[in-house]
Amino acid sequence: MTGSSADIEALLVDVNDISNPTPGMLPAIFRDIIGRLDAAGLGYAVVGRIALALHEQARFVREIEIVVGGDADEHDRIAALARATQARFAAHMDPRLCRLHIVLTVRPSTCAAETQLLADAVTCQWFGVQARLASAEYLLWLWCRSDSLDHAVDASALIKGGAVDLYSVRGLLRTTDDVEESGQRRLRLAIGDAVLSATSSFSRFMAERSVLLDPNRVPIWRLRQAEAADRDDR
């Protein structure tokens, strides 16, 4: 994904409805929870569509999703940090107070592989603070372990963007997949969807281009071929 952090922020935050201030609060909420995690000295990675914008393209989001490393005895501390942010921004995060509220999900890592992936997070300026965003491989591994429709769409978009090492993800899934190898199956489906989407986009582009071309136009190579044949005839 190219473009400045400010450009991406403008795409992630939907502020079209000026009567609803909640979407515009997403950066402030993001900065608050990242500040709390940094102050606590916890390793983390931002996942979800906020992180996808680093690798593929920005889309409007209402959810901040973060995975935090740490021992089991830190789970309560992780939950407390999330609750503190939710309390501070209750007017924009409490579903009882705001219909289209911003959702914050902060959870501990679930396995050794995920803890290792946290170490590969990309540190960059995001929403005005230094934050750690999940690598493309982490996102794809995570989404292939879920049957959510949104995750399937995001996985396909990530593969289509060409920013992910598929061999690395396949290796990770081999070590963490279930007996039915559902993650490997989802990865194959996502690759297929990405290929079909790219082929469809190219076909549509060529069809639109053909409509714009003059049907009577003769390619330059045909003109030169005709001129050469004419000279030979003489």
Calpha distance 190→142 (Å, rounded) = 13
For the chain, the straight-line distance linking the first and the last C-alpha, in angstroms and rounded, comes to 58
Q: Hey, what amino acid is at 233? A: D
Calpha distance 90→112 (Å, rounded) = 34
Its pTM stands at 0.77
pLDDT, tens only, 115-138: 888 999 999 999 889 999 999 999
Residues with pLDDT less than 50, the chain: 2-3, 202
Single out the residue of 122, 163, 114 nearest to residue 141, CA to CA. 114
Which residue bears the tokens 């609750």? 83
pLDDT, tens only, 15-39: 666 677 787 889 999 999 999 999 9
pLDDT the model gives residue 2: 45
Burial class (CB in 10 A: 0-12, 13-18, 19+), 26: buried
pLDDT the model gives residue 3: 46
Single out the residue of 159, 135, 146, 136 nearest to residue 186, CA to CA. 146
pLDDT the model gives residue 204: 57
